[in-house]
Amino acid sequence: MKIVLDCDTGIDDAVAIAYALACPEAEILGIGSVLGNVESDLAAENTLKLLKVAGRTEVPVALGAHRPLVRPPGYAKFVHGEDGLGNTYMPPSGLSVSGEHAADQIIRLARQHPGEVTLVPVGRLTNLALALHKEPQLPSLVKGVVLMGGAATAPGNVGPVAEANIWGDPEAASVVFAAPWPITMVGLDVTMASLLLEKHLECWREADTPLTRWLLAVVDFYFEYYSASFGRRACAMHDSVAVGIALGLVMEQESHLLPVSVVTHDGPAMGQTVVDRRPLVTPGRYSAEGANTRVMMKIDGEAFIDHMVERIALYQVR
């Protein structure tokens, strides 16, 4: 499967990229950067650091949006560390970004492989919104979008009902959900049930590869952050779930095709993905006709994380 990732790398982004690299099912055509967990240029450098460690420097990395469409920038360094990699300050990659904007990279790759590319954004949707603005035909050029973001019935993680990737650029998210392409929304409903546990860290310790050693160092800060909030030793692997679903490697248990809109006005609901679930309970009165978003409601998160961790453990650094 041809995929283009778009990341605010970030610790769970780094794990997701490592997982994609470890999956023979994935042909990674390019990776874009976007602000979010950290600044866009730092996110790009973090991606390059990971590609270096994994020996996959052939994957092009394109620098993307430095700010949301209309709102001021903000970051989540308290979750991911000042460097976005758990304050490990890993050695510089020594590599460069491609020179193309991440939005242009998306457009170019979609045109080169019409109907074949799945976009997998696991950060804010700014680059996708910019790409749609530049190339309104983009929806007919790609296979679809599998995004990490939003929440249908789960509580928010940056507000009562808002998830960080949507909240961080709700105007961009609104544009992306309104575009006529098939979207799979991989939100907190499923990612908060996909947890990395001590046993997984042990598996990576045993594997003891350059990649697992790097990830173990990086993941520590995030693991501590989440463990404190969960009250148990665990952290959520949000972004890997979107990659797994894009590649068809997740056991899906419940999903629905439903209309989704995004709250863009200020207030307690800002950034909410409003999933219209009325067609599920009163199908005679409400229809989901015309809906473009498959909302993931339930997966086997435990089995998926076991598989994801194992794939990374088995990855042979090139």
Catalytic residues, by residue number, are 238
Q: Per CB under 6 A, which region of 7-15, 172-180, 246-254, 295-303 contacts ligand BDR? A: 7-15
Q: Encoding tokens for residue 120?
A: 């997998």
Q: Per CB under 5 A, which region of 22-30, 72-80, 123-131, 185-193 contacts Ca ion? A: 123-131
The CB-of-176 to ligand BDR minimum distance in angstroms stands at 15
| 47 near ligand BDR (CB under 6 A) | no
Residue 132 near residue 171, CB atoms below 8 Å = no
Q: Which lies closer to ligand BDR via its Cβ, residue 9 or residue 279?
A: 9
Task: Tell me which of 6, 13, 163, 189 binds Ca ion, using CB under 5 A.
Answer: 13
Residue 297 near residue 190, CB atoms below 8 Å = yes
Residue 162 near residue 156, CB atoms below 8 Å = yes
| Sequence-ordered strand ranges (E) for 88-129 | 117-121
Q: Which lies closer to ligand BDR via its Cβ, residue 193 or residue 291?
A: 193
| 83 near ligand BDR (CB under 6 A) | no
| 10 near Ca ion (CB under 5 A) | yes
Is the dihedral angle over the CA atoms 75, 164, 6, 132 positive or is it negative?
A: negative
Q: How far apart are CA 261 and CA 272, in angstroms?
A: 8
| 240 near ligand BDR (CB under 6 A) | no
Phi and psi, residue 274, nearest 5°: -85, 105
| 122 near Ca ion (CB under 5 A) | yes
| 242 near Ca ion (CB under 5 A) | no
Q: Which lies closer to Ca ion via its Cβ, residue 11 or residue 207?
A: 11
Q: Which lies closer to ligand BDR via its Cβ, residue 65 or residue 122?
A: 122
Cα 165–chain centre separation: 8
| 13 near ligand BDR (CB under 6 A) | yes
Residue 51 CA: distances (Å) to CA of 30, 45, 75, 210, 309 = 12, 10, 23, 12, 18
| 64 near Ca ion (CB under 5 A) | no
